[in-house]
Chains A and B, each alone.
Chain A
């Protein structure tokens, strides 16, 4: 169990080296490569957020796109209408997403497994349809974020993608820190008890309803932050780009294939799947043969067939075996 073990000096060094590489490497990359790295960090962050509720607490959400979209819409709407800084919009989006997550999560307190997954899909679709028809937020046309002078305060950069990269890298590190804190604290133990079963959790004195809400709310807040980032990065959002089911599915995929229930698993998953998807599309997608999707699908099938615990699970198994 990676999350529970204490960090050793060796792990600190390895982590520091990887981080240094992640900071230096993009300085020498093409803009497209930088774009791929940004998307990777973005999806990785969403995967880490999913893992808090899906991996640890066993609540399989296929509706994360709703929180992603609400994050994107809240900051964009506040900026367009009230000239509110996206940084404040980021927090506001997180709060709204968390509250909505709690409001929808409470009546779903007894739903487990498949039933929770189905409810989460339904919830996200309802949110998408509401936004598609809601004139105040641009309905199907979406929102275009106004151009401002580039600065950190405006959360907007035009001359280089690098500032975006460093922001999303910082967000990802924050999500990882939250996930690690959760997994090693009382909350993490309670989440794992809930995943095992509501009955055993109750025997152990866990307030199941309350701790399930904690899991959903933490996950929703972090996912919403990623949504705000996406809006500021792409500068145009509509329901079809930030609230659709494929986003939710991709978030689940990176977490599951990388290794759910581990802190770093979703990052590994994103680091494999996102570049693969982006590069195969760039190289093969324009031919219209669907070859990029075939390669993508084949890889997912192979990993789930041979490494059901995910890539990170396989790595930790190897390490354990060599000891």
Chain B
């Protein structure tokens, strides 16, 4: 049981009308890994996240987590099993403080307010937001909001954390901080899957990289293997430099 993968995605397909957003995608995630999913815009990365976490109904294929078939289960049920995700566009609860936002995540595992508050404070200390605990969530900078999202996710005691573009639009200093945070999260024995465009972070963090293009998996390998692959260069990395110069 211990060498079975934590997450086993088997031939998942998702269609929106005639659009094949995900086509027969298979991959595995082992405990303790950091996996990056890269690919050009529209490659199906966020759709794949939504298929795994129950936000989209899967049209074909299966998703196995810890030996349970979680294909098309409800998002809250999947969260309870231990997969927590974030969204590309930062989502926080606007009429709550930072601490209350994190507490809302904490109620997944505890019912008593005092327990949840203590836990939320521990997590804010871990993620470096504790001084801003009483701020309204909307008062935070973008980078702190992303940090808050990670804090909310951690409050739910995930075994698998799926981050959708947590590093987009950050300054180099903020980028370093979030990379350090993800490292710390992994060190606390949480497995991490990220969707990311920032290649610097992908190269530095990932044990393995999965490349998607037009809804299909193009390749999978170590960061070094991936950047050396001509097809990846053509489909994604070349385009990336075009995108950066815009």
Contact = CB atoms under 8 A, between A and B. Distances in A.
Contacts of B103: 189
Interface stretch (B92-100, B181-189, B206-214): B92-100
A202 B75 contact: yes
Given A185-B113, A189-B104, A199-B55, A207 B87 contact: no
B233 interface: no
Contact of B75 (A1, A189, A203): A203
Contacts of A4: 100
Contacts of B85: 203
Interface residues of A, number: 22
Given A184-B113, A185-B113, A200-B91, A208 B76 contact: yes
Contacts of A184: 113
Given A189-B107, A199-B87, A199-B91, A204 B156 contact: yes
B84 interface: yes
Interface residues of B, number: 29
B36 interface: no
Interface in B149-170: 152-153, 156
Nearest to B110: A186
A205 B80 contact: yes
A178 interface: no
A193 B93 contact: yes
B86 interface: yes
B92 A190 contact: no
Interface string B65-78: 00000000011100
Given A199-B87, A204-B104, A205-B76, A186 B95 contact: no
A263 to B, nearest CB: 15
A261 interface: yes
Contacts of B87: 199, 203
A112 to B, nearest CB: 15
Contacts of A139: none
Given A189-B100, A189-B104, A200 B93 contact: yes
Nearest to A208: B76
Contacts of B107: 186, 189-190, 205
Q: Which of the listed residues B75, B80, B86 has the most CB atoms from chain A within 10 Å of its own CB?
A: B75
Nearest to B89: A199
B151 to A, nearest CB: 12
A204 B108 contact: yes
A192 interface: yes
Interface of A: 1, 4, 184-186, 189-190, 192-193, 195-197, 199-200, 202-208, 261
Interface of B: 55, 74-76, 79-80, 84-87, 91-97, 100, 103-105, 107-108, 111, 113, 116, 152-153, 156
